[in-house]
Each structure stands twice: as C-alpha cells, then as structure tokens.
Amino acid sequence: MADIGIVVISHSKNIAQGVIDLISEVAKDVSITYVGGTEDGGIGTSFDQVQAVVDQNDKDTLLGFFDLGSAKMNLELVADFSDKKIIINSVPIVEGAYTAAALLQAGSDLDSIKSQLAELSINK
C-alpha cells in the first residue's frame, strides 16, 4: 500500500461520516482520518480539529478533501504548519475522496491519482 493517506474535512458531522462510510467500502487498507462539524456538534470547522485529524493519520503524504470554504482554509493553515505533505484537492468531496481511496486501494501511484482527480476539478 502506498505511503499516502486521506483526510476529509466537512462542516457537518453527518456528511463527513457518510463520506467515510462510503469510501471505507472500497478502501479497507487506506489510512483515512476525518472530522465533521465543531467540537460542540454544530456546523463548522476549526483549525485545532483539522490539525488533530492530520496528526492522527499515520501517513506522511495526505490527499485532503473538503466541502466548503472554511474547511479548505483550515486545511491550508494546517498544511502550512505540518511536516506532512498535504495535497488539497478542489473536487467534489464525495466523488474526489471515493476516487482517491479506490485508486490507492488498487495500488495506483500519486501521479495517476492526481490525473484522475484533475478531471473532477471544480474551477471557481
């Protein structure tokens, strides 16, 4: 298995859990960590929670997926302070995370995964 993991950041606990439930079906051997919502169960994201799930992932290179603006912002901030290489992907959270996880499980290399994700890119 590649030395690449996945981190999923959502404003919603239910969205994050749903994405993980789905991709876990095709990627049982992929290191995946995630967070959804705020510490008190509300809608939102926080730097501390994002940093915690990045730190919890045992891989040094992470493919990051997010749902909305502040999730991306917090992931970018964590990437600035982390020793890990975090590749932030501007793709639909479900399709992107699922694609990356399935390709990692199949043994694809990072360049192949980036190429597949580029086709899903959101350009706004």
Query: What is the distance between the alpha carbons of residues 101 and 55, in angstroms, rounded to a whole number?
Result: 19
* Strand residue runs (E) in 1-124: 4-10, 32-36, 61-66, 85-89
Question: Which candidate in 4, 9, 10, 11 is catalytic?
Answer: 11
Task: Sheet containing 85-89: give its strands across.
Answer: 32-36, 4-10, 61-66, 85-89
Cα–Cα dist 25/89, whole Å = 21
- Tokens representing 72? 């991306």
Catalytic: 11?
A: yes
Which residues are part of the catalytic machinery? 11
